[in-house]
Amino acid sequence: SNSKVLVELDEHTGVAVMQMKSPPVNSLSLDFLTEFSISLEKLENNKSCRGVILTSAVPRIFSAGLDITEMAGKSEEHYAEFWRAVQEMWLNLYSSSMVTIAVVNGSSPAGGCLMATSCDYRIMAENPKYSIGLNETQLGIVAPFWFKDTMLNTVGHRCTERSIQLGLLYPAHEALKIGLVDELVPEEKIQTMAMETMAQWLAIPDHARQLSKSSLRKPTVDRLLAHREADIQNFVSFISKDSIQKSLHGYMERLKQRKA
């Protein structure tokens, strides 16, 4: 099939593994985001699923973040539909009642970092070539308030302030140091470690853990819910600007030149 999100649920342990498989870089396209949200909702509604491990089936890359081609040269209607899908992905993941563990087995810029920090726990492969962070400013764009909030809730105000202004991408060891990820593990052991960590989280009674999670995360989620349409309008008018389109175009060109 041409599925971009592979889901395997072990009914016995109650743990699902969600593998992102959208080569070459797991960029978050409209199709990808739609499939991701549907897959996650199915697990959410499945009583036998209590935990999700989110990882990548693409070597060296967790996710390259939002698909830049969805944000360039398209209609305002398209931008609005795309942005709604990005919001939906985040709302579903950030407020999931399941235990969510990100196995960051590759690079994880921008939207990839958002996905990882939306989980309850992050395990990153111990590889200095992999980096993670909100690098939006390097593209000449601005991380939306709920991207910022998600990082803020993970690493605190000072670190977020510096990181998102400079658009810093942290190599694995630095990401651990600032608490952007919780643990580094050699890549070949990462799945085993994730299962062990999941077992610890699942040892806590669901209702107590879920209420604790939601008491911490609900204010952040409610902030987007209260301003969802305005956030879409804001994105559409920002991304439609000539100057922003030029920045994105230039960035894509630099990505391609770097390869040549």
The count of chain residues that interact with ligand CO8, using the rule CB under 6 A, is 28
One of 51, 111, 133, 167 is an active-site residue; which one?
111
Q: How far apart are CA 116 and CA 57, in angstroms?
A: 15
Question: Could you tell me where the DSSP H helices lie in 13-110?
Answer: 30-44, 76-94
User: Containing H/E element for 93?
Assistant: helix 76-94
One of 88, 136, 139, 169 is an active-site residue; which one?
136
Let me know if 224 is a catalytic residue: no
The residue from 69, 165, 200, 212 that contacts ligand CO8 (CB under 6 A) is 69
Quick one: DSSP state of residue 38?
Answer: H
Q: Quick one: 253 exposed, middle or buried, by C-beta within 10 A (0-12, 13-18, 19+)?
A: exposed
* Piece of 63-71, 89-97, 157-165, 183-191 that binds ligand CO8 (CB under 6 A): 63-71
Report if residue 20 touches ligand CO8, rule: CB under 6 A.
no
Report if residue 25 touches ligand CO8, rule: CB under 6 A.
yes
Let me know if 168 is a catalytic residue: no
Report if residue 145 touches ligand CO8, rule: CB under 6 A.
no
CB of 232 to ligand CO8, least distance (A): 11
Which residues pair with residue 15 across a beta bridge?
10, 51
Residues between 101 and 130 with contacts to ligand CO8, criterion CB under 6 A: 107, 109-111
Nearest to 167 by CA among 145, 143, 147, 150: 143
Let me know if 127 is a catalytic residue: no
What does residue 215 show for φ and ψ, rounded to 5 degrees? Answer: -65, -30
Residue ranges that bind ligand CO8, judged by CB under 6 A = 24-25, 27, 61, 64-69, 107, 109-111, 135-136, 139, 141-144, 235, 238-239, 252, 255-256, 259
